[in-house]
Every structure is written in C-alpha cells, then in structure tokens.
A = this chain, B = another copy of it.
Amino acid sequence: MISNLLEGKKGIIFGALNNLSIAWKVAEKAHEQGAEFVLTNVPVSIRMGTINELAEKTNSPVIPADATNVEDLENLTRKTMEHFGGKIDFILHSVAMSPNVRKKREYDNLDYNFLNKTLDISAISFHKMLQTAHKLDAINQWGSVVALSYVAAQRTLYGYNDMADAKALLESIARSFGYIYGREKKVRINTVSQSPTPTTAGSGVKGLDKLLDFSERMSPLGNADAEECADYVVTLFSDLTKKVTMQNLYHDGGFSSMGMSLRAMSQYEKSFEGSD
C-alpha cells in the first residue's frame, strides 16, 4: 500500500548476509519504497551468504568492502557515487562481530587483540564509514545514517560480553559524528536499538533462546522482528524524520522501559513450583 516513501533516494546498505539479516529486510523494504542502493559486505560474508540473490531481487550492485579498511570504504564510496552519478541519501550500518564471543573468552578473560577487533569491526568501522563519506562529500543535505545497536549499551546482559562495550562506543560515535555532520551538511545520524533478533550473527550470543523468551514476555508488544525493524529504519531514511539526530532509538516492543511485566513474572514464579 505505502509505496513511495523513499522515492528517488539512493543509499548504501552494509551487512546483509542472508535473509535472516536485518540489513536484508531493510534492503527489501527500501526497494519497495522506491529507493535504489548498493549492497556491501566483507568478501568472506559475500561468499558465505546469499547476498547475490538479494542484489538480483532489488536490482542492486554488490561492491565488496571490509568496513574496517579505509581504502575499501573509499573505493566503495567512490564507486557508489559513480554508479548513481552523484551523492547518496542514506547509509545503513549493520556490522558487528566479536572474536571473544566466538572463541568463548569470557569478559573477565578477554584477549585484547580480539577486543580491538570487536571494537574495530562493530564500532570504529562506523566512524571510518562516516569519515570517508564526509571527506568525499558523498551524502546529500538532509541525508540519513542509521546503525543498529542493542540495549546492552546501557544495561549489562550476561554473555553479551565485549559486544556491549562495542555498542556503547558505536552509539557514542553516532552522537559525536552526528554533531559534525549535522552542523556542516544537515546529515542526521542515529542508532536503532533493536530487540534481540535471531539472525545468524545474533545466534552466537550465549543462551539467546531463553533471553528471547524473557525479552518477549517483558515487552508489552513482544520482541520486534527483523522485518519490523526494517519498516522503522525506512521511516528514519525518509524525509519525515529530518530533525531527528544523535539519538539512540529503541525499537523493542517496550522492553527498554520495563522493570518487570506480569507475564515475565508469572513465568518466573513457576520456577519456584515444587521447589520448597
């Protein structure tokens, strides 16, 4: 029904691995709304995933880039501008990985080279992407940039490990660069703090299924899924949200504003049954 919210808009979408990815859903929804975009991911993810299927479906080029590599980002940005014959209007950053999580190094036993990688991939890559776009003057006035985050940036969840710190850094970069890019080019930068989502990347987090259950019962509207997240990101790319910037926006069915719900507590109480 709604079909032209992003008409004429051009962008770059980072991080679509397969059809579970939030970035994948954003690409589909942005396409539906009339946007054109370049898809990008690190070469290994392009091989492992199915991005070419998405590229075909949305009629988009795929330009590989390692988001931690400034040269790659420059190449991506230049080629994108060549492809569109001009500047772009939006960027999605959906990039996160923690070698400490993968290698099961607990937070009190971090490997610091891994931590540097976590921060570089999951947070500093966002700065690199923005600095590159800014230097090449790649984004139109009133353009919009979104990165995906998680409530672990504000509140500790066991097992989320150094990704929590990476998300806090990511959100800070959004604010810091949001100020610069806003005052100079009217470009807005926000993070969307999404419900835990069973993507391929998310599934590395310890005990995700039980966390999803708890989160579902705590959130009055239930967890937000990847498709709903994509809908929301579309509004942030549209011209209807021009003055929203430097914000971390919770898209989580209300989880972030809950202390305790009746549904979660009723489940919790069952844990004591037959236990006295």
Residues of chain A whose beta carbon lies under 8 Å from any beta carbon of chain B? 1-5, 7, 70, 107-110, 112, 115-116, 119, 124, 127-128, 130-131, 134-135, 151-162, 164-165, 167-169, 171-173, 175-183, 186, 188, 195, 207, 210-211, 214, 219-224, 228-229, 231-232, 234-235, 238-247, 249-254, 256-263, 265, 267-273, 275
Given contacts A168-B169, A179-B220, A182-B220, 19 further A-B contacts (CB under 8 A): A2-B5, A108-B181, A119-B169, A151-B259, A156-B246, A156-B257, A158-B179, A168-B168, A179-B254, A210-B269, A220-B245, A221-B243, A222-B243, A224-B243, A231-B240, A235-B241, A244-B250, A244-B251, A247-B256
Q: Which residue of B lies closest to A128 (CB)?
A: B112
Q: Which residue of B lies closest to A260 (CB)?
A: B157
Q: Number of copies of this chain in the oligomer?
A: 4
Let me know if B131 and A108 touch, CB within 8 A. yes
Cβ of A154: which chain B residues have Cβ within 8 Å of it? Answer: 257, 259
The SS class assigned to the A binding surface is helix
Q: Roughly how many angstroms separate A247 CA and B241 CA in the complex, as a whole number?
A: 16
Q: Which residue of B lies closest to A224 (CB)?
A: B243
A33–chain B nearest beta-carbon distance, Å: 9
Let me know if A116 and B116 touch, CB within 8 A. yes
Cβ of A175: which chain B residues have Cβ within 8 Å of it? Answer: 155-156, 164, 257
Let me know if A155 and B258 touch, CB within 8 A. yes
Q: Roughly how many angstroms separate A238 CA and B3 CA in the complex, as a whole number?
A: 13
Cβ of A220: which chain B residues have Cβ within 8 Å of it? Answer: 178-183, 245-246
Contact with A258, one of B195, B243, B246, B249 (Cβ below 8 angstroms): B246
Q: Roughly how many angstroms separate A247 CA and B250 CA in the complex, as a whole number?
A: 7
Let me know if B155 and A172 touch, CB within 8 A. no
Let me know if A260 and B2 touch, CB within 8 A. no
In the A-B complex, the 4 residue pairs with the closest CB atoms: A182-B220, A168-B172, A224-B243, A246-B257
